[in-house]
Amino acid sequence: MSEAEVVAYETRGRVALLTITRPEKRNALDGQVRCAFLGAMERARRDTEIRAVVVTGAGDKAFVAGADIAEFEGRTAVDQWRVMKAASIYEAVERSPKPVIAAINGWCLGGGMELALACDLRVASTAARMGQPEVNLGIIPGGGGTQRLPRVVGLGAALRLILTGEVIGAEEALRLRLVDEVVEPAVLLDRALAIAALIASKSPVAVAAAKEATRAALSLPLDDGLKLETALFQVCFASADKAEGVRAFLEKRSPEFTGR
Ligand code: COA
C-alpha cells in the first residue's frame, strides 16, 4: 500500500480528516504508517485552508492497536534507539498549531493510546477499549505514555493502567477523564468533526496561541507560564483577527477570521 493509502487524508471544510488505514492489523503503527502520518500532519500544517485535524482509525474494530509488535521481533536496542531518534508522531500532534481531535472508534492500545493522549481532545465511541498493555510484552510505554497519561488522568489512575496493562471501556475512560465525551459509534466521526469545525470557526491565531499557552501550563513554573500567556496575548493584539473579532462584536455580526 502507498503512504497515501495507509493514512488517508480528506478535507471536510476547514478540517483535515486523517484515517489510519491498516484495519487487517487493527491499524497498528508500523514504520510506513508513522512516516505517512507525519506527512499528513505536515500537509495539514501547511494548508492555510485547514484549521483543525481529526484522527481516526479505519474500520469498526480499532483506532490504533499500538506499535506494530511484529517489528519488535529481533530488533536490537541500537536499532530501536535509531527508530526512536526519528521524528515523533506524538510530538507532531502535540506541537501542531492546529488542534488535533482523536475520534476513538475501537481498540486504542499502547502507541494508539499514546497518540490519543498527544491529541488535544478525545472523543470515544461506546465501543472504544483503551489501555497501555506494554507490560504484557516486557516493555513500557515509549511514545510518551508514562508522561502524558498521568498528566491527563492523575498519577494513581495512570499507574494502575500502566502497571496492570488493564484495558478499560469507554464509560470507565470517561469517568477517569481520559476521554472528553462518549457517543454511539454511528455518530462518532460526525461529533469529532463538529467539534473540529467549531474550533475551525475561531481565529487560527488565537487558537494556536491558546493551545501553546495552555499546554505550557504542564511544563512551566507558574511565573514563566504567566509570562508566556502575556506574550501570546500581545501576539493576538497584533493580529487582523483580533481587530475583526472586536469589530464584529461591536457591530453585532459574526466575525470572519483569516488567520492573519
Ligand atoms: N502489532 C502488530 N499486529 C497487530 C497488533 C499490533 N499491535 N494488534 C493486532 N495485530 C494483528 C494481529 O496479529 C492479527 O494479525 P493476523 O491476522 O496476521 O494474525 C490482526 O492484527 C488481527 O488481530 P486479532 O488479535 O486477531 O484481532 P482481535 O480483534 O481479536 O484483537 C487486539 C485485537 C487489539 C485486542 C489484539 O490484536 C491485541 O491484543 N493486539 C496487541 C495490542 C498491544 O499489545 N498493543 C501494544 C503494543 S506496544
Q: So what's the pLDDT on residue 139?
A: 98
Q: Check 42, 71, 73, 114 and give the catalytic one.
A: 114
Has 71 been annotated as catalytic? no
Report the DSSP pairing between strands 168-169 and 129-131: antiparallel
Report the DSSP pairing between strands 62-64 and 181-183: unpaired
What 69-74 contacts at long range (C-beta under 8 Å, 24+ apart), as own/partner pairs, is: 69/28, 69/137, 70/30, 71/30, 71/31, 72/137, 72/139
* DSSP letter assigned to residue 131: E
The residue with cell 510484552 is 137
Q: So what's the pLDDT on residue 74?
A: 94
Burial class of 20 by CB neighbour count within 10 A (0 to 12, 13 to 18, 19+): buried
Indicate which residue's Cα is closest to atom 34 of ligand 1: 65
191 Cα–ligand 1 center, Å? 27
Torsion of CA 193, 212, 47, 236, to 10 degrees: 110
Q: So what's the pLDDT on residue 3?
A: 79
List 29's β-bridge partners, or say none: 67
Q: So what's the pLDDT on residue 2?
A: 84
Q: Which three cell numbers stand for residue 221?
A: 513554573
Average pLDDT, the chain: 97
The DSSP result for 217-248, as a single string, is TTTS-HHHHHHHHHHHHHHHHTSHHHHHHHHH
Helix (H, G, I), strand (E, B) or coil at 69: helix
The residue with cell 475501537 is 106
Residues in the chain: 260
Task: Tell me how crowded residue 159 is: count the other CB atoms within 10 A of its CB.
Answer: 14
Query: How far apart (Å, rounded) are the C-alpha atoms in residues 131 and 129?
Result: 7
Task: Tell me how crowded residue 1 is: count the other CB atoms within 10 A of its CB.
Answer: 11
Q: Which three cell numbers stand for residue 132?
A: 497501555
Q: Which three cell numbers stand for residue 98?
A: 492546529
68 lines ligand 1 (CB under 6 A): yes
Has 134 been annotated as catalytic? yes
Q: Edge-to-edge strands of the sheet including 62-64?
A: 62-64, 107-109, 129-131, 168-169
Type of residue at 155: L
177 Cα–ligand 1 center, Å? 26
What are the helix (H) ranges across 28-169? Answer: 31-46, 77-85, 89-95, 111-118, 145-153, 155-164
Per-position pLDDT tens, the chain of length 260: 887 899 999 999 999 999 999 999 999 999 999 999 999 999 999 999 999 999 999 999 999 999 999 999 999 999 999 999 999 999 999 999 999 999 999 999 999 999 999 999 999 999 999 999 999 999 999 999 999 999 999 999 999 999 999 999 999 999 999 999 999 999 999 999 999 999 999 999 999 999 999 999 999 999 999 999 999 999 999 999 999 999 999 999 999 999 99
Q: So what's the pLDDT on residue 239?
A: 98
